[in-house]
């Protein structure tokens, strides 16, 4: 009697062998394709991310930028020294590339606090970065990234409404209270023809938590 099990095994092996050949070749071709395709795809994604990050509206404040209002109804209007009154609450503003008509509103990390303070009350380090008593700081709280919109009138300090970190704008944005680990980064300013102009880069890393190494 013929051994059907043996025949089935041989047939199975035969068919498996016939199947393995083309499949192995296909797999080899696919592996070669993926070896080239994946790095190219990664480069493509990386390139798109890099391009997005380098869009003019996402760039941080650049030397020569003017400043404009955060409010959309006044966005594009240049802020002038004569527009500011001493010790008014800090304003949330944005850098503005006037030459190319680009408001740098593509990243919330570009939000800036602007305020005019009595020059006699400014520390030497703060005065060096200010212009006619006008100071500018990053609006991003160094604790958790909330916008620092609170103003303590009596103490003349900023307060973050999220976790009550307090910063002194008269003394380099130093932390006075709360969980924030670092000062608010300061933005150097100058005045040209009554317009407030960005004079340099932020003096420290913009963001919350510990700076990257």
What digits encode the pLDDT tens for the residues 70-95?
999 999 999 999 999 999 999 999 99
Assess contact for 88 and 117: CB atoms under 8 A.
no
- Among 129, 110, 119, smallest CA distance to 172 is for 129
pLDDT, tens only, 25-73: 555 665 555 565 555 555 544 444 455 567 999 999 999 999 999 999 9
The β-bridge partners of 173 are none
Rounded Cα distance between 120 and 92, Å, is 24
Query: DSSP states of 1-69 as a string?
Result: ---HHHHHHHHHHHHHHHHHHHHHHHHHHHHHHHHHHHHHHHHHHHHHHHHHHTSGGGSPP-TT-EEEE
Phi, psi (rounded to 5 degrees) for 42: -60, -40
Q: What is the pLDDT of residue 128?
A: 98
The residue with tokens 């190494």 is 213
| CATH code assigned to 57-198 | 2.102.10.10
Assess contact for 77 and 70: CB atoms under 8 A.
no
Rounded Cα distance between 117 and 135, Å, is 7
Q: What are the residue boundaries of the structural domains of the chain, listed by start?
A: 4-54, 57-198
Q: For residue 115, count other CB atoms closer than 10 A to its CB.
A: 24
Residue 163 vs residue 40, higher pLDDT: 163
DSSP state of 167: E
Six token digits for residue 68: 């404009």
Q: What is the pLDDT of residue 133?
A: 98
* Confidence label for 209 from pLDDT (cuts 50, 70 and 90): confident
pLDDT above 60 (res 23): no
Q: What is the pLDDT of residue 152?
A: 98
The β-bridge partners of 92 are 113
Assess contact for 170 and 199: CB atoms under 8 A.
no
Q: What percent of the chain has pLDDT over 90?
A: 72
| SS3 at position 97 | strand
Q: What is the pLDDT of residue 82?
A: 97
pLDDT, tens only, 98-122: 999 999 999 999 999 999 999 999 9
Q: What percent of the chain has pLDDT over 70?
A: 75
DSSP state of 163: T
């Amino acid at each position: 009697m013929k051994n059907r099990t043996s025949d089935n095994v041989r047939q199975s092996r035969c068919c498996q062998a016939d199947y393995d050949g083309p499949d192995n070749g296909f797999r080899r071709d696919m592996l070669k394709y993926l070896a080239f395709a994946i790095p190219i795809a990664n480069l493509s994604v990386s390139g798109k991310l890099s391009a997005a990050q380098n869009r003019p509206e996402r760039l941080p404040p650049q030397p020569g930028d003017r400043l404009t209002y955060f409010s959309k109804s006044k966005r594009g209007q240049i802020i002038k020294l004569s527009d500011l009154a001493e010790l008014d609450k800090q304003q949330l503003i944005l850098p503005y590339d006037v030459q190319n008509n680009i408001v740098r509103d593509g990243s919330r990390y570009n939000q800036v606090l602007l305020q005019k303070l009595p020059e006699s009350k400014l520390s030497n380090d703060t005065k060096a970065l200010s212009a006619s008593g006008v100071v500018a700081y990053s609006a991003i709280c160094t604790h958790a990234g909330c916008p620092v919109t609170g103003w303590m009138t009596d103490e003349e300090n900023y307060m973050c409404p999220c976790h009550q970190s307090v910063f002194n704008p008269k003394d380099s944005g130093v932390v006075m209270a709360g969980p924030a680990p670092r000062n608010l980064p300061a933005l150097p300013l100058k005045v040209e023809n009554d317009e407030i102009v960005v004079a340099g880069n932020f003096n420290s890393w913009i963001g919350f938590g510990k700076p990257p190494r």
